[in-house]
Structure 1
């Protein structure tokens, strides 16, 4: 592990919301210094997901079909039997997590990747979701740079600036 205790997320940035009644869409954009193929691997490979994502997967997300996602960091495991609906390596990945649809797009950006996440999420949870993904994507960036600090989700995130980020995103989104 590299400097996990020194990690603290920067200010809330790179996220916006699209509003549609009670179901809102969180859109998070992150520019990563790694090529789309490497980012795709981290988004789809179960061993890679265990390094940064808020859930474990029982198989690769790199192909269409059923998959079981288990939420990490919750008091009781929450398991979702779900579907990967689109998997077009290394540019587009869509699946459901519980009742929420997630779509990831990966675009070449210089020598790296512009990663965009669309996450349909209930209005009451959107700032929390933005804060959570902010930290997960910071951890992903370090994992891709071969400087992993280990997954930071659930209660762990409270020690790493999640409450501040949640408040900042709530202000940005006007909640």
Structure 2
């Protein structure tokens, strides 16, 4: 599929939550058909990130040190002074973004890669985070296959067909009310 207007996300899959009080860690796993070196480039190079990720980077993420990540898809870009903590090509990438920690692991699987993301996120946004990364991973897969449809993030993602269904599926899976309140907690 090369037409972004035809894109509809598939069902919620490949995600779990590790809970620690209000701060939860979203864990997403996706098997990609491309080798780790190619996936690494997509995770680290600004020109590649601009095809699928929810932020722009002012430099490559392939080395440790300060980096500026600018969230896209919002009325006003949110600029985050971030830090790449670890960059071990092509297997491990860790950085901060907007007060959260992200860890990417790339594991060779045959001719492809098992990509695992850990993202610390407030539980109030856990189903949105899962849905957002789900869509980003879908777009990443198309980009790696040479069928770029351009990133679908922020408000555009939330307006896309399938967003409400996807956030509701992840909310049920994680035991929260969409967009993220625990289902056994009264509304306040």
Identify the TM-score tier after normalising by the shorter chain: over 0.9
CA distance in 1, matches of 2:9, 2:62: 29
Unaligned runs of 5+ in 1: none
1:96 Cα shift? 0.4
Unaligned runs of 5+ in 2: 177-188
CA RMSD, Structure 1 to Structure 2 (Å):
0.9
Aligned to 2:57: 57
Q: Which has the greater radius of gyration?
A: 2
Aligned to 2:73: 73
1:111 Cα shift? 0.6
Q: Does 1:147 align with 2:153?
A: no
CA distance in 2, matches of 1:27, 1:43: 16
> Matched residue pairs, number?
175
CA distance in 2, matches of 1:78, 1:171: 30
CA distance in 2, matches of 1:41, 1:131: 23
CA distance in 2, matches of 1:163, 1:170: 10
| TM-score, length basis structure 2 | 0.92
Relative contact order, higher structure (CA 8 A, sep 6+): 1
Within a 5 Å distance, the mapping from 1:3-42 to structure 2 comes to 3-42=3-42
1:160 Cα shift? 3.5
CA distance in 1, matches of 2:76, 2:147: 30
Aligned to 1:160: 161
CA distance in 2, matches of 1:160, 1:83: 34
